[in-house]
């Protein structure tokens, strides 16, 4: 009898095939059991990932990769592909929490990735891409090339606004109603631990 236990299931299958290598039917059965075993293991891993995500949602925790996204430096040459064209780091890997270039992307093909874009020397992310991962409410979006984007970091301003209008709660930039933050960074600062997050990965 075969007991498909992960991670020892592969050892069971190899032993079974070894003892049944002269029996094609038993060998085929062992291969099917092996496939089912690894599928079961993958499902368990995905289930565990969803459990962890749900736990962070219930606890009101912000996703761990967000800090890396807002602090990372983008649009610099990738040191691993210095001799290649179009080697600017404009992709963020949520699993590795680092910026990568398009030539690095194949090595991260099984990781969740998000593309970072450039607008007037500022890093932006499309709202459609970001709101699938976290709650972007109260962060003011901007329309650029017919697409809504969110700035990752505060933009330089000549002087803070000191009037009575609606301003960013972190950097005092003037905002439209009903938004409270001018960029993602201003929302994720530790001074707002009460903010509830929605984690997609």
Residue (of 37, 38, 40, 33) closest to 16 by Cα position: 33
| Spatial contact of 72 and 94, defined as CB atoms under 8 Å apart | no
Exposed (0-12), middle (13-18) or buried (19+): which is 152, by Cβ within 10 Å? buried
Look at residue 39 and tell me whether its pLDDT is greater than 80: no
Q: What is the pLDDT of residue 57?
A: 46
Look at residue 89 and tell me whether its pLDDT is greater than 70: yes
Prediction pTM value: 0.64
Of 37-46, 83-92, 122-131, 148-157, the one with minimum mean pLDDT is 37-46
Domain range annotation of the chain: 9-59, 66-188
- For the sheet with 98-100, list strands across it: 98-100, 91-93, 113-115
Look at residue 37 and tell me whether its pLDDT is greater than 80: no
Mean pLDDT score of the chain: 77
Percent of the chain exceeding pLDDT 70 equals 60
Residue with the larger pLDDT of the pair 84 and 16: 84
């Amino acid at each position: 009898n075969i007991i498909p236990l992960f991670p020892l299931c592969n050892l069971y299958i190899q032993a079974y095939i070894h003892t049944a290598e002269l029996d094609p039917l038993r060998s085929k059965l062992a291969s099917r059991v092996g496939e089912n075993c690894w599928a079961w293991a993958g499902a368990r891993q995905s289930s565990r990932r969803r459990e962890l995500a749900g736990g962070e949602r219930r606890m009101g925790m912000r996703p761990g990769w967000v800090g890396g996204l807002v602090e990372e430096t983008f649009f610099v040459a990738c040191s691993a592909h210095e001799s290649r064209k179009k080697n600017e780091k404009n992709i963020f890997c949520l699993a590795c929490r680092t910026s990568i270039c398009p030539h690095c992307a194949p090595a991260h093909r099984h990781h969740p990735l998000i593309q970072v874009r450039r607008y007037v020397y500022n890093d932006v992310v499309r709202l459609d891409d970001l709101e699938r991962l976290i709650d972007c409410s109260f962060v003011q979006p901007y329309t650029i090339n017919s697409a809504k984007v969110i700035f990752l970091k505060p933009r330089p301003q000549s002087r803070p606004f000191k009037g009575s209008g609606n301003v960013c709660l972190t950097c005092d930039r003037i905002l439209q109603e009903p938004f409270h933050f001018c960029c993602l960074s201003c929302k994720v600062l530790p001074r707002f631990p009460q903010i509830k997050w929605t984690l997609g990965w």
